[in-house]
Structure 1
Amino acid sequence: METYIIIFLCMASFLAGFIDAIAGGGGLIQTPVALILLPHQPVSNLMGTLKIPGFTGTSIASLQYLKKVEMNWKLLLIMAFFSGLAAFLGSHILTLVSNDFMKPLLFIVLIGVAIYTFLKKDFGTHQPKELSENKMIFLGIFISTVIGFYDGFIGPGTGSFLILAFISLLGFDFLHSSANAKLVNLASNVGSLTLFIIKGKIIWLIALPMAVCNGLGGWLGAKLAIKKGNQFIRIFFLIVVIGTLIRLSYDIFFKS
């Protein structure tokens, strides 16, 4: 493999790790770059390979958040379990069928998310909800199962969807949503990654250097998010959602 390809992939992976640590959506950076630079590789191989840097960056970002942000461990462990199982199933299905039919639906959903987040200035700043423990666990299982499956089957934007779910359904603010979403996303990465490793879908030559760069980006992004707080994360979240819309628009309307 040409050296310049690995260099470009590593640069994309660093930026992806940085963005993902703040607001999710790192896959929107490294996934299209990998598809462009490695056009002859099967999509399932690329998706499997990109799970390695995604796992590394999410792990390092999670460690940074754990030092500073309070976690609901009972809820998180339950969500992590269901997220991992759902992602394993989603990745298995991805190896059998195409996921293109989901893109128009996601496009419509994200337009609504972008408009709502932009217009509601206090969204994710302070969202107290009086939820019983049982209801919170039920919602957590629902969130982690649906988005975990999405992560395994489609992938890009998973962190953003988790943040949105933590805010709108569980009443977390942006900082706590981003921190908790990282751990749930980590579990879905493990589930998906397990399936891809079993099926031999990892291109280790590019996965390992990308993992180092993604980890560095995740470390820097998490530190910045903790320092800057909710409004900073909200702005990044909007940027990521708009970026997702642009990417989906290309796939739906222009890609042959």
Structure 2
Amino acid sequence: MDWAVLVVGAFLAGMVDAVVGGGGLIQIPLLLSAFPAISIPVLFGTNKVSSVVGTLSACVRYARTISIPWRIAMWAATAAFVGSWFGAQAVSLLPKETMKPLVLGLLVVVGAYTFWRKDFGKLERHAMTPRWVVPASLAAGAVIGFYDGFFGPGTGSFLIFIFVRWFGFDFLKASASAKVVNVSTNLAAIASFATHDGILWRVGLVMAVANLGGAQVGSHLALKHGNGFIRWLFLIVVVVLVAKLGWELTAAQI
């Protein structure tokens, strides 16, 4: 086990995750490589321990600087907590491979829509009538929460896209709101994994310190450079996710 690699990887994961999500793209492969004999649920739980610290710190940083739409974010976070718990419970019951084609297709649509709509997420707008706000928040939170507890890659990207497309947020508010929901899903997943499969606490806590440092850098960059920076980093992360899942699906068929 190379501690330096894990720490550097956690720092980079925290930095990217604080802006657009996708930190698991870095941390999970590192953990799988460092601990090949450890079960997937244990490594997923360890990843969540590292991630939740950075995500919470980014959330606090955003909250001090911009006005987060707390009503929407908290309803979504409440439903996401429940969804993530059940998603984590399903990790050992259902094959993750069944999710990959669906997620790949959704990411392609999300990326293409964001790329072609040049004004997407640049300005805040009203995209939903008030009576649908709470039901939509609960539905989005439950579905994304289950997905994050069960599979995970792209959770932050999906949350940001939903907050921009459904609720009319700009990218900065969408990223901040996504952090509120991500804290909730991570806590639920940690509770589930800790009580059933276990967690590598020492590894998770060391990586958490590095992840926190990265999250502070990432949130600083997002606040400094604004919606345009977040949009392009969002597109980059989506492309990387598509490439990763596409490669895994192709390799599995060879």
TM-score band by shorter chain is over 0.9
Q: CA deviation at 1:112?
A: 1.5
Aligned to 2:28: 31
Q: CA deviation at 1:197?
A: 1.3
The reply on whether 1:120 has 2:117 as its aligned counterpart is yes
Match of 2:8 among 8, 11, 30: 11
Aligned to 2:67: 70
Match of 1:144 among 137, 141, 144: 141
- Output aligned runs, 1:1-256, within 5 Å: 2=1, 4=2, 6-255=3-252
Q: CA deviation at 1:55?
A: 0.3
Q: CA deviation at 1:76?
A: 2.2
The number of equivalent residue pairs is 253
Q: What CA distance in whole angstroms lies between the structure 1 residues aligned with 2:231 and 2:19?
A: 9
Q: What CA distance in whole angstroms lies between the structure 1 residues aligned with 2:237 and 2:100?
A: 16
Asked if structure 1 preserves the Cα contact closer than 8 Å seen for 2:148 and 2:155, the reply is: yes
Q: What CA distance in whole angstroms lies between the structure 2 residues aligned with 1:132 and 1:190?
A: 31
Moved more, 200-209 or 47-56: 200-209
Q: What CA distance in whole angstroms lies between the structure 2 residues aligned with 1:135 and 1:47?
A: 34
Q: TM-score scaled to structure 2, two decimals?
A: 0.96
- Which runs of 4 or more aligned residues in structure 1 lie more than 3 Å from their structure 2 counterparts after TM superposition? none
Asked if structure 2 preserves the Cα contact closer than 8 Å seen for 1:31 and 1:156, the reply is: no
- Letter of the 2:208 counterpart: A
Asked if structure 1 preserves the Cα contact closer than 8 Å seen for 2:80 and 2:141, the reply is: yes
- Letter of the 1:211 counterpart: A
Q: What CA distance in whole angstroms lies between the structure 1 residues aligned with 2:78 and 2:214?
A: 26
Q: CA deviation at 1:33?
A: 1.8
Asked if structure 1 preserves the Cα contact closer than 8 Å seen for 2:127 and 2:167, the reply is: no
Asked if structure 1 preserves the Cα contact closer than 8 Å seen for 2:128 and 2:166, the reply is: no
Secondary structure at the residue paired with 2:119?
A: coil
Go from structure 1 to structure 2 and tell me whether the alpha carbon gap of 1:241 and 1:92 turns closer, same or farther (over 3 Å shift). same
- Letter of the 2:123 counterpart: H
Q: CA deviation at 1:79?
A: 1.5
- Letter of the 1:129 counterpart: H
Q: What CA distance in whole angstroms lies between the structure 1 residues aligned with 2:36 and 2:251?
A: 17
Q: What CA distance in whole angstroms lies between the structure 1 residues aligned with 2:143 and 2:166?
A: 13
Q: TM-score scaled to structure 1, two decimals?
A: 0.95
- Letter of the 1:11 counterpart: V
Secondary structure at the residue paired with 2:90?
A: helix
Asked if structure 1 preserves the Cα contact closer than 8 Å seen for 2:80 and 2:185, the reply is: yes
Q: CA deviation at 1:72?
A: 2.1
Q: What CA distance in whole angstroms lies between the structure 1 residues aligned with 2:194 and 2:35?
A: 19
Q: CA deviation at 1:136?
A: 1.0
